[in-house]
Amino acid sequence: MSLNLEQYVSEFSAQNINGEHLLQLDGSKLKALGMTSSQDRAIIKKKLKEMKASLEKARKAQEKMEKQREKLRKKEQEQLQRKSKKTDKSSPDATEGTQEQ
């Protein structure tokens, strides 16, 4: 409707075309849905291309954030392990054990 193509809404609804299905449509499928105007199909295809690019950009950003979180988790674990090793070395039990030998 935001593209001023509301004349196709009823057919898209009747065919259960949702966002996921919409992204998979090409020119021939749009034509089969009753979109006879090549200009209208061009408008939809252009918008779909923009939407796909936007989704891909968002997916890549999400992957980047997940990698950064994982890297941060690993770094925190390494710091905890180092701290734990230092604590073990400086504990009285560890020094007593070495003195007895």
Delimit the domains of the chain by residue range. Answer: 6-80
pLDDT tens digits for range 2-34: 888 989 888 888 999 988 888 899 999 999 998
* pTM metric for this prediction: 0.61
pLDDT tens digits for range 46-65: 999 999 999 999 999 999 99
Token pair, residue 36, equals 């006879």
Name the band, by pLDDT with cuts 50, 70 and 90, for residue 69: very high
Question: Residue 67 half-sphere exposure, CB side, CA atoms within 13 Å?
Answer: 6
Task: Give me the pLDDT at residue 43, please.
Answer: 94
Q: What is the CATH number of domain 6-80?
A: 1.10.150
Among 78, 49, 95, 96, residue whose Cα is nearest residue 41: 49
Token pair, residue 26, equals 């090409």
